[in-house]
Structure 1
Amino acid sequence: MENTYFITGYSGFLSGQLLDEIVATNNVHKLYLLVHPTMLQKAKQQFAIDGLFNNQWEFIPGDITEEGLGLSKELRHNLQRSVTHVFHLAAIYDLSVKEKVAHQVNVVGTRNVNRFVEGVHSLKRYTYFSTAFVSGDREGAIFETELIRDQQFKNHYERSKYEAEVLALETKQNVPTTIIRPGIVRGHSKTGVTTKFDGVYFYLNMLERFRQLRLRSVPLIVKGSVNGNFVPVDYVVQAAVYLSHHEKGIGKTYHLTDPHPYTMEEVYTMLSEAYLHKTPKKTLLSRFAGRSLNAVLERYFRVSSEALSYHEIDATCDSSQAVRDLSGSGITCPDFKETLAPMASYYKDHRQDQLKYIT
């Protein structure tokens, strides 16, 4: 049976990969892509690059921060009569975002999308993309069935995504909803392709600077037993699309995180060995690893201070529900170690591309 999709957040990296997966694995009748008017030209250019398909798509200029998504009443009602699946990915992903902007886009925007969803006549599924970091400063095991636990937040991004997920939980009482909580998304596990050198790539930024400095030894500046929370984009989109079309996914929240994570020290060590072919060692610089080194890392190694705080929260996202419901699908999160070669190779080939760096 053919499905009609309404998707927010194009032309982000995750949404582009999601479209590929939907088209490859489902019978698509029509795909409506809600794009902010200021991003329309960029979206069209990106769409041409992606080369997904020809006459089954339509860009819908709109704004999730506006009531009714900035759409005419007639268009909105026409969409609500035809759409079967809604994927809401549009959000501000910026750890240093200002409070007002984060609230307007991530919270108010989600509220407006929820209202649109509740008016869809033949809705089969509403999939809301949250983040594993709605857990804030909680430590220990974080379960998929948990959300409101009096946690505090490290930045306005986290808080706004938490408040948005609370709204998605309320919507779940009225419509078939699936909530996806990805970890820190990295490039494709097989090709290494990514659009931004953020997240785990901050380590590669550091290692590249060490290479430029011609250091004889790579300093071990990441220490401790805190787990990394990095997950390849192909696993996220494959799992999300599968769970969003299977009945078992209705009413559930999924951690799409690495079920067998390595510690941050292990991740750093493996990347150093893959990229520089050197095992990090304790040096004079290693003594200053921690908060006192943050300013240096931020200025000289393109590591944001907000990102560094994620190396200090000892939390593990339990993904038992996701692993169980994906059982039999053939979709599993690849071992981080097995994806190192394409990640390091892609970074090496594109390290001069300034558009891939957070500024």
Structure 2
Amino acid sequence: MNHVYFFTGFPGFISNQLIRELLKRDEAANKIYLLVLPDQMVKAEADIKEIESELDGTKVDFELIIGDITKENLNISAEVIQILHKKITHVFHLAAIYDLAVPEKIAQLVNVVGTKHVNEWVKGISNLKRYTYFSTAYVAGNREGNLYEHELLLPKSFKNHYERTKYDAEVLVEELKSEVPITIIRPGIVKGHSKTGQTIKFDGPYFILNFLDRLSFLPIYPYISSERETVVNLVPVDYIIQATAYLALYKDGVGKTYHLTDPNPCKATEIYELFVGELYKKKPKGHVPMALSQAFLSIRPVRAYLGVEKEALEYFTWQGRFDCTEAQKDLAGSGIICPDFREGVPAMVEFYLKYKNEKRYQIKIR
């Protein structure tokens, strides 16, 4: 049976790369429908042409569908829905707001209401083989200690609206598991490609690089010290893409939730040392208290100058550890393993230095 894919979140970077990986792995794929917002059509058309140029003769039909997950029935006409519901075999829901500083109303609309609409829409597909939902490991919120893939527990609090709305959205998807063949993907903090350093925006760990770059005039680079030593789970995008493509087609992946996280993450201090060493061939000296750093980043002009969202600091004091046993077990034998973060630092920093002054990579600091 031919596989017909349906994607939300195109032309986003992860969906773009995931399509390429799926086409390498799935010989049965012959049609891909892409739900695209009207203002993204030009970019989507250009990205499809680029993907098609890389297919080496493989015949795959792409079709753009103008729609919006925040609207009922994804804002698709009844006639088109009837066609799609008969043809589609695999759905990939990646559309979401990923910004840590996203306002609550926008996060709720896109991440929760949007996922509710996709869920309802998916239930009408007659030949559905898999619904792959892209969540985040940080649905754990402020829970700490060992965090397991089978858990979806309401924490006492969340660090930001992004985490809370992704938790609420995953609850909706989890409830659908009894009706639909679902696989939930929970990535850690996604960074650029482990070999090339390629990414599309400088957020997450790149805030540290922004911080160090903007303060390059300093004679020393002090640690941002905290009483709580923690690990930060940074995962290269190539691992996320390869693992997702494999697990979305893996026959025993139905009904499972996977942590696509680094099984051996670095400590926050080590990450900082690696960045300082790669940028300046020095070691950090001295300490700036975390409370003082948080106070400075509460001042908008300061955080705008430094290129750092204040919400990012919490991830460097939070003491949660993601257990990824199920993902590691099901990926065993596939040849897909999470690259060592340390080995990818040179490529990461090189890419950052090359594009740090291009506005398209820097996110707007609120």
Scaled by the length of structure 1, what TM-score is found? 0.94
Q: Give the fraction of aligned pairs with identical amino acids, expressed as a percent.
A: 47
Task: Assess if the C-alpha contact under 8 Å between 1:221 and 1:289 holds in 2.
Answer: no
Task: Assess if the C-alpha contact under 8 Å between 2:142 and 2:155 holds in 1.
Answer: no
Q: Give the residue type in structure 2 aligned to 1:264.
A: A
Q: Given the superposition, is the C-alpha separation of residues 7 and 153 from structure 1 closer, same or farther in structure 2, using an over 3 Å criterion?
A: same
Task: Assess if the C-alpha contact under 8 Å between 1:135 and 1:151 holds in 2.
Answer: no
Corresponding residue SS for 1:172: helix
In 2, Cα distance between the equivalents of 1:287 and 1:104?
A: 33
Pairing 1:121-132 to 2, within 5 Å after superposition = 121-132=126-137
Task: Assess if the C-alpha contact under 8 Å between 2:30 and 2:60 holds in 1.
Answer: no
Alignment coverage as a number of residue pairs? 356
2:245 is the counterpart of 1:241: yes
Match for residue 269 of structure 2? Answer: 265
Pairing 1:296-335 to 2, within 5 Å after superposition = 298-335=303-340
Q: Give the residue type in structure 2 aligned to 1:152.
A: S
2:75 is the counterpart of 1:74: no
Q: Give the residue type in structure 2 aligned to 1:4.
A: V
Deviations 1:258-284 (A, max 9, x none): 11011111111111112221111115x
Greater shift in the superposed pair: 87-96 or 48-57: 48-57
2:15 is the counterpart of 1:7: no
Match for residue 136 of structure 1? Answer: 141
Q: Give the residue type in structure 2 aligned to 1:307.
A: A
Q: Post-superposition shift, 1:101?
A: 1.5
Task: Assess if the C-alpha contact under 8 Å between 1:125 and 1:250 holds in 2.
Answer: yes
Q: Given the superposition, is the C-alpha separation of residues 158 and 286 from structure 1 closer, same or farther in structure 2, using an over 3 Å criterion?
A: closer
Task: Assess if the C-alpha contact under 8 Å between 1:207 and 1:276 holds in 2.
Answer: no
Q: Give the residue type in structure 2 aligned to 1:34.
A: L
Q: Given the superposition, is the C-alpha separation of residues 140 and 26 from structure 1 closer, same or farther in structure 2, using an over 3 Å criterion?
A: same
From 102, 111, 115, give the equivalent of 1:110. 115
In 2, Cα distance between the equivalents of 1:76 and 1:279?
A: 58
Match for residue 23 of structure 1? Answer: 23
Greater shift in the superposed pair: 274-283 or 7-16: 274-283
In 1, Cα distance between the equivalents of 2:343 and 2:354?
A: 19
From 330, 343, 347, give the equivalent of 1:342. 347
Q: Post-superposition shift, 1:56?
A: 1.5
Greater shift in the superposed pair: 95-104 or 257-266: 95-104
Q: Post-superposition shift, 1:293?
A: 4.2
Q: Give the residue type in structure 1 aligned to 2:219.
A: R
Q: Give the residue type in structure 1 aligned to 2:20.
A: D
Match for residue 291 of structure 1? Answer: 294
Greater shift in the superposed pair: 285-294 or 183-192: 285-294
Pairing 1:86-97 to 2, within 5 Å after superposition = 86-97=91-102
Q: Given the superposition, is the C-alpha separation of residues 40 and 277 from structure 1 closer, same or farther in structure 2, using an over 3 Å criterion?
A: same
Q: Post-superposition shift, 1:42?
A: 2.3
Q: Post-superposition shift, 1:287?
A: 8.2
Q: Post-superposition shift, 1:149?
A: 3.4
Task: Assess if the C-alpha contact under 8 Å between 2:184 and 2:256 holds in 1.
Answer: yes
Q: Post-superposition shift, 1:194?
A: 0.4
Corresponding residue SS for 2:252: helix
Match for residue 63 of structure 2? Answer: 58
Deviations 1:212-248 (A, max 9, x none): x1x3322222554211011001100111110110112
Q: Give the residue type in structure 2 aligned to 1:105.
A: V
Greater shift in the superposed pair: 285-294 or 242-251: 285-294
From 225, 231, 234, give the equivalent of 1:227. 231
Deviations 1:327-350 (A, max 9, x none): 110001011011111111111111
In 2, Cα distance between the equivalents of 1:307 and 1:218?
A: 19
Q: Which runs of 5+ in 1 are unaligned?
A: none
In 2, Cα distance between the equivalents of 1:142 and 1:295?
A: 30
Task: Assess if the C-alpha contact under 8 Å between 2:7 and 2:35 holds in 1.
Answer: yes
In 1, Cα distance between the equivalents of 2:292 and 2:239?
A: 32
Corresponding residue SS for 1:128: strand
Task: Assess if the C-alpha contact under 8 Å between 1:222 and 1:268 holds in 2.
Answer: no
Pairing 1:151-300 to 2, within 5 Å after superposition = 151-211=156-216, 213=217, 215-223=218-226, 224-282=228-286, 285=288, 290-295=293-298, 298-300=303-305
Q: Give the residue type in structure 2 aligned to 1:217.
A: I
Deviations 1:116-136 (A, max 9, x none): 211111111000001111111
Q: Post-superposition shift, 1:352?
A: 1.5
Task: Assess if the C-alpha contact under 8 Å between 1:222 and 1:289 holds in 2.
Answer: no
Q: Given the superposition, is the C-alpha separation of residues 301 and 49 from structure 1 closer, same or farther in structure 2, using an over 3 Å criterion?
A: farther
In 2, Cα distance between the equivalents of 1:287 and 1:89?
A: 34
In 2, Cα distance between the equivalents of 1:194 and 1:111?
A: 29
Task: Assess if the C-alpha contact under 8 Å between 2:141 and 2:155 holds in 1.
Answer: no
Deviations 1:84-105 (A, max 9, x none): 1100000111222222221111
